[in-house]
Each structure stands twice: as C-alpha cells, then as structure tokens.
Amino acid sequence: MDKEIIKRIIREKQDEISNTKLVIRHFNLELVANYVFIGLRRAGKSYLMYQHILNSISSGAILPEQVLYVNFEDERISSIQAKDLGLLLDAFGEMYDKKPCVFLDEIQNIDGWHKFVRRIADSKYRVFVTGSNAKMLSKDVHTTLGGRFLFHEVFPFSFAEYLKFNNLELRKNWIYGNERTQVIKLFSNYFYFGGFAETFVINDRRAWLNSLYHKILFGDIIVRNEIRNENAIRMLVKKLAESVMQPMSLSRLNNSVDSTGAKVSRNTLVDYLQYLSDAYLIFSISNFSDKFLEKETFKKRYFFDNGLLNIFLINRETALLENLVAIELRKRYDEDLFFYNKNVEVDFYLPEAKMAVQVCYSLNSDIDTRKRETGALVQIAKRFEIEFFLIITKDEEETISENSIEIQVIPVWKWLLENELS
C-alpha cells in the first residue's frame, strides 16, 4: 500500500469536510467516548461523523489538521488489509506533528479491523468507525471493543428532520396554525419515499431508491456472502415486501419463494434472511408468545425505510403506513417490540412500555373495521397490564372509551412528531 495515496486521501477528506454544509441532526454523543456507528447504507453514518468533526473543530476540541478520515470504499485503497491499517497512522505522522482523531468509514469489509481499532483506542486515540453490516455488532467485535467503544445505530432521517431539511421549524401549538397544512403536505413525500437525505433534492427519487436497493442487494448481500442463487434471494425480498404486514412462518415463506421457481432449502432461507437483516434492509419482530419455537419461526418482517419498500408495491398505502410505524417503534423501543397473535391480533405490543398499538389507514371506513381494531385492544387489555392504547391512522384523530380503557386515535404524521418536537 502506497503511503502517498493515503496522504492524498487524508488531505482530500480534510478539505471536503471543511466545505460541507450540513442540516444538523440531533445526536447526543459522549464527549470522550469512541463510537461504532452501524446502519443501513446511505442512512447518514458518514454524515454523522462529518457533523461531529465540524462541531469538534468549531468548539476547539480538535484542529482541522487533526482529522484522519478514510473511507474504505475508495477504490484507491480497495486492496488494503488489516495488517496494513497501521500505515494510516504512519502516513499521517509524516504529514503532521499532532495526534490525529481517527475516522474510519465503511470498514466492515476488512477482516480483523476491530483488532487494529482496539489497539489504537488503547493508545488513547479518539476513534470513530462506521459500517453497513450488523455483523459489526457480533460477539467477537463486542468482546474486542467492549469497554472502549459505544455502539450506535443510525437510521435515515426522521420526519422531524425531514421538516427541518425543508426549512419548516414548528413552533409551540403548531398543530393549530398554518404549519399543520405544510406538515401534511410534506408528509406525503416522506411517506412514499422515506428518509434518505440524498433523495430530498432530486426529482427521480424512485430511480435513486432502485439504484440503492441493487447496491445493497448485490454489494452488501450477494457478493459479501458469496450467494450463487441470486434469483432466490431476489424473489425472497419481493415476497417479504408483498407480505410486510402479515406474520409468516418459515415454512410458508419457503413455499412462497419455491412457488416462483426459485427453489431454496429451509436452511438456506434462514441464512438469506440473516443476510438481509445484517445489511439493515429488513428487521423482524416476534409473536409475544411463551413458546420459543413460535417466537423464532413465526415473525413479521419490515423494511428499514419506506422508500425501499415502496419500489416493490402496487397497492401500497396500508403497507407503507404499518411499515413506517414499525420503523419508528423499532427506533424508540428497540427490542421491546412484538406483535401479538393468539386468539386476537394486535399489530404491536410493547410489554415494558405497557403499550398496545394498532395501525389502521382509516378507522371510519366501515363499522366492521372500527370494531375489529378497537376490539383487539379490548381483548389484549384483559391479558396484560397495559396503560397506553393507540390506533395510528393516516389522518384521523379522536379518543375512544370502551370497556374501561381509553384508546387514543392519532394521525401518523402527528404521532411521528410527538417525541421530537415541543
């Protein structure tokens, strides 16, 4: 590996970062901690590191020339291996007489990267790492980096951040003013095309999302995991999108893929699902059941961004609504997220938060829909200690009292802003 190339990369990144204009995202980072940022490709991990660098320079915590930033998707260093990573510090040392703050972007493809990172952290370097694969959360990585690093998941822009990008700052009691109309109008684009910031300024968002999907599928899943049956995993993603609201057993999913002619064994299907999860394309939630086998084999699966899901759908509104709610609940409550399907179907159950959530595009479309959604919440209230009952709709809002429980019906665009805006 040529150190002169590394030097050029270091200097190029210093110049690029100093000239970057950012829409500030709200992240609370510990001032003295090292971080590993994990998440979906193009979700904003690099953006977050840029923001932290500029904040650190602005506050005087570091100087611009202390930034050692390397993106490992740069083709000029595509052959670098873990044993070569020390050259980064060597090259920097020949350029500057200051200790660098180290930023290593998309490092997941380098086997053994975490040992180098641990070594320099032990030498009192500040280190920030990003990766687009959940294997960076593996036991091996945690064992090596434990006690030295904090792990932080990064999601695409929230709806509140999307509003901020569009220069809409909401004041107190915004819901009663002209801002309400603007919020609803902007929500439509966010609902269909998701939170990837790069799509916010382009016209053909669908083409960009298609391109990103194929980059994730081919680069982060097929090539990385050496998958030979490309047709099978493509069909699997398509079937997952078509059934995004429906609990599916492994057997049923296996049969669904086989019916397309893309035959795959059950064990291979399990592997493929793990690869899709590792790449942050999908996530799954289990049925809240006391049966271990049922928890592991009977799941609902969602996409990490509505824009990626939308490229597969025809009749899309209901699926996109539930998917968006699932994403937000996953961000807010992490592993305290289940569905409940045992004599009654409830879309989301959060036992630690003591909350049950139904998702319904229109509660007032017909009387049977209303009875089904409210009835499910009444039934689950008889089984578990629940304090908060929600029905999240596209646009409807009311409060329903039934069988001694109070159900809040709230539009999704208002609910998304509840925890982020005063």
Tokens standing for 355? Answer: 């909350």
Give the pLDDT confidence score for residue 30 in this predicted structure: 81
Question: Regarding predicted confidence, which is higher, 150 or 393?
Answer: 393
Q: What is the mean pLDDT of the chain?
A: 93
Question: Regarding predicted confidence, which is higher, 109 or 278?
Answer: 278
Q: What is the spatial distance between Cα 382 and Cα 362, in angstroms, rounded to a whole number?
A: 25
CA–chain centroid gap for 35, Å, is 17
Give the pLDDT confidence score for residue 397 in this predicted structure: 96
Confidence of residue 421 (pLDDT cuts 50, 70, 90): low
Give the pLDDT confidence score for residue 26 in this predicted structure: 84
Residues 120-149: b if buried by 16+ CB within 10 A, e if exposed: bbeeebbbbbbbbbbebeeeebeebbeeeb
Mean pLDDT of 265-279: 95
CATH match of 3-154 with 3.40.190.10: no
Q: What is the pLDDT of residues 126-179, one digit of tens each?
A: 999 999 888 777 677 878 887 889 999 999 999 999 999 999 989 888 999 899
Tokens standing for 276? Answer: 């899709």
Q: What percent of the chain has pLDDT over 90?
A: 82
Question: What are phi and psi for residue 67, nearest 5 degrees?
Answer: -85, 120
The model carries a pTM of 0.93
Q: Which of 359, 356, 408, 401 is nearest to 382 (CA)?
A: 356
Give the pLDDT confidence score for residue 289 in this predicted structure: 75
Mean pLDDT of 385-404: 96
Question: Regarding predicted confidence, which is higher, 320 or 32?
Answer: 320
Mean pLDDT of 178-198: 96
Place of tokens 């229109």: 362
Residue 331 neighbours by CB distance under 10 Å = 14
Q: What is the spatial distance between Cα 240 and Cα 245, in angstroms, rounded to a whole number?
A: 9
Give the pLDDT confidence score for residue 422 in this predicted structure: 42
Tokens standing for 297? Answer: 């084999």
Give the pLDDT confidence score for residue 290 in this predicted structure: 63
Q: What is the pLDDT of residues 79-95, one digit of tens each?
A: 999 999 999 999 999 99
What is the DSSP-derived secondary structure letter of residue 112? T
Mean pLDDT of 97-103: 97
Tokens standing for 44? Answer: 């904003």
pLDDT at 407 over 90: yes
Tokens standing for 140? Answer: 């091996």
- Per DSSP (E only), the strands in 338-387 are 338-341, 345-350, 355-359
Residue 300 neighbours by CB distance under 10 Å = 22
H-run or E-run covering 399: strand 398-402
Mean pLDDT of 331-357: 95
Mean pLDDT of 406-412: 98
Cβ atoms of residues 155 and 195 within 8 Å: yes
Mean pLDDT of 219-238: 94
Structural domain boundaries in the chain: 3-154, 190-417
Q: What is the DSSP string of 57-90?
A: HHHTSS-GGGEEEEETT-GGGTT--GGGTHHHHH
pLDDT at 69 over 90: yes
